[in-house]
Amino acid sequence: MANREFNLDKFTTPEISALQTAEELREQLEATQGAEIRTQLAQIFDESTFVEIGAYVKRSFSDYVKTEKMDELEGVICGYGAIDGKLAFVFAEDAARLGGAIDDRHAKKITDLYQLAVKNGAPVIGIFNSTGADIFCGASSLAAYGKIIKAVNDASGVIPQIAYVAGKCLGTAATIAAMFDFVIKADGADFYVTAPSLTGAENAQADKISYVGDGAQCAGFIRSLVAFLPENAAVGADVGECADNLNRMVGDLDFGGDALSMIATIADNGVYYEIGKDTAPALSTVFTTFGGVKCGVVATSFAKNEGRLTAAAAKKAADFVSFCDLFSIPVVTLVDSLGLATDAENEKAFADALARLAVAYASSENAKVTVIAGHAIGASFVLLGSKALGADIVYATDDSEIGALAADSGVAFAWNRYVTEETKRETLAEAWKASVASPVAAAATGEIDDIISVNELRARICSSLLMLSAKGKHLAL
């Protein structure tokens, strides 16, 4: 209470205060708005399209206290504009205004913005940079967090939400940002619930982060996301003109077990946007287009721990598939995995994480195409987009290995007695791959729709996605 004192005179002494003129308000707005926030907004929105709303809302200091900051404008800037010609809304906490401290009017500006965004079916970008709640506002500042949480929750699955951690995002604010569909983090920004100095855990929330970069890179990634994603859940899958050759053959390439190299080769013009690359790197989640159809890709890389699923990878894939389903974005799954990672740390979280992955695929109603492009052993065959979990089309490359056990393990378990000096273990392993674990055997059961060459990988994926582009759009007969 150092700079605030009770003022009861106003209840006994009538006083009329002159209001600021519009010109004075504009001058105050320009003078108090931080240069950093202006730069961020200019980088994100198309030139000269950003329009601020609620620009002159002032902080909600109590009528009973006086402070030199009585006329301070609220610490969050709200508005709308165009990103690649598409409508988008933003709230941006401005650290230049009392550290962007949160109070009830801060929350009201954000919740009002959400009402507009949902009514207009347009995405929301939240720029987080606040020192936290205004402690002098007591319970009302704490309730402000709750009101923002409710607005974010009510919009979940209705419109895309992108959190940009540009500065400080601490405590409950970090919880709010984690509720968004994507979290973009600027280099050096603080994103934690409890300070690492107290917990000893650096980057503890890393698995929630979709992208990290400098200011310009983060703004560019946000622009790419907004341009790629549907404006809202009612829009459905986006099928545009294909800027590449639909029937382009890729050759009999060896991608070295690297999923991103495969995606770069088979996607339209090799363009893709990776989400969460620093989390569970053996499994990649990517947005790209095939034949002009915008889609999400879940892909395992055999070169990274034999593509084995970890608990973090399962959670990453589950969240991604669930988001794509909410917004009717098709999912392509590229499988090259020997199954599950086997270690004590993963075992602690496996049951829940794998259940989430199973539910994500089994409950999703969007178009789903799966390609086994190498190995699909054990749980990786079942959980990563199998027909049993609802995939519409499943392909396998002609040299793929599919089975409950990898060939070496299968031989050790079932054919070990046949190993002799004349019949080497390696020979039996090759026989296992050619019979028990062959794509032909899987196709005979109906779990594989076709066996294809790597050369035709792109063409077959494009064809399947275009065929499935009307999925869910039932015709009245």
Percent of the chain with pLDDT over 90: 65
Q: What's the pLDDT score for residue 67?
A: 54
Written as six digits, the tokens of 126 are 């939240």
Name the DSSP letter for residue 136.
G
Question: Does 374 share its domain with 279?
Answer: yes
Shared domain for 364 and 290, answered yes or no, is: yes
What confidence tens digit (pLDDT) does each residue in 196-229 have?
777 777 776 778 999 999 999 999 999 999 999 9
Question: Are 367 and 239 in contact, with CB atoms under 8 Å apart?
Answer: no
CA distance 434 to 450: 17
pLDDT digits (tens, 9 = 90+) for 449-465: 999 999 999 999 999 99
pLDDT at site 267: 97
At 445, is the secondary structure helix, strand, or coil?
Answer: coil
User: Same structural domain for residues 301 and 207?
Assistant: no
Per-residue pLDDT tens over the stretch 374-396: 999 999 999 999 999 999 999 99
Domain contains 235: no
User: Looking at the predicted structure, is the pLDDT value of residue 433 above 90?
Assistant: no
Q: Stretch 397-406: mean pLDDT, rounded?
A: 91
Flag whether 243 is in a domain. no
- Residue 167's pLDDT is what? 94
Tell me, yes or no, whether 475 lies in a domain. no
**pLDDT over 70, % of the chain:** 87
Least confident of 97-106, 147-156, 434-443, 467-476: 467-476
Quickly count: other Cβ atoms within 10 Å of residue 51's Cβ.
Answer: 11
State residue 477's pLDDT score.
42
- For residue 253, tell me if it sits in a domain: no
Query: What is the pLDDT, as a whole number, of residue 18?
Result: 55
Are residues 315 and 186 located together in one domain of the fold? no
Q: Is residue 181 part of a domain?
A: yes
Domain boundary among 210, 228, 246: 228
Lowest average pLDDT, out of 2-11, 78-87, 104-113, 331-340, goes to: 2-11
Do 316 and 409 lie in one domain? The reply is yes
Considering the domain architecture, whether residues 58 and 129 belong to the same structural domain is answered as yes
What would the mean pLDDT of 328-351 be, rounded to a whole number? 94
Residue 347 phi/psi, 5° resolution?
Answer: -60, -35
pLDDT score for 62: 44
Question: Which DSSP string do the residues of 40-109 spell out, in sequence order?
Answer: HHHHHSPTT--EEESTTPBP---TTEE-TTTTPBPSEEEEEEEETTEEEEEEEE-TTTGGG-B-HHHHHH
Q: Per-residue pLDDT averaged across 145-155, rounded?
A: 96
Domain span at residue 119 reads 5-228
Residues 138 and 94 in one domain: yes
| Separation of alpha carbons 106 and 147, rounded Å | 10
If asked whether residues 463 and 347 sit together in one domain, one would say yes
Q: Give the end of a domain, one of 209, 228, 247.
A: 228
Look at residues 332, 454, 456, 436 and name the one whose alpha carbon lies nearest to residue 384: 332
What span, in angstroms and rounded, lies between the C-alpha atoms of 72 and 32? 8
| 185 vs 476, more confident | 185
HSE toward the beta carbon, residue 32, CA cutoff 13 A: 24
- Asked whether residue 236 is assigned to any structural domain, the reply reads no
Q: Mean pLDDT over residues 286-314, rounded? A: 97
pLDDT tier for residue 2 given thresholds of 50, 70 and 90: very low
pLDDT band at 361 (very low <50, low <70, confident <90, very high): very high
Q: How confident is the model at residue 96 (pLDDT cuts 50, 70, 90)?
A: confident
Which has the higher per-residue pLDDT, 231 or 12?
A: 231
Number of structural domains found in the chain? 2
Higher pLDDT, 359 or 63: 359
To the nearest whole number, what is the mean pLDDT of the chain?
88
What is the structure's pLDDT at 8? 54
Residues 181 and 47 in one domain: yes
pLDDT score recorded for residue 10: 52
Report whether pLDDT(245) > 50: yes
136, 280: one domain: no
Assess whether 278 and 201 both reside in one domain.
no
Which CATH number is 327's domain given? Answer: 3.90.226.10
CB 339 within 8 A of CB 382: no
Q: Is residue 233 part of a domain?
A: no
Domain boundary among 189, 208, 228: 228
> Are residues 397 and 299 part of one domain?
yes
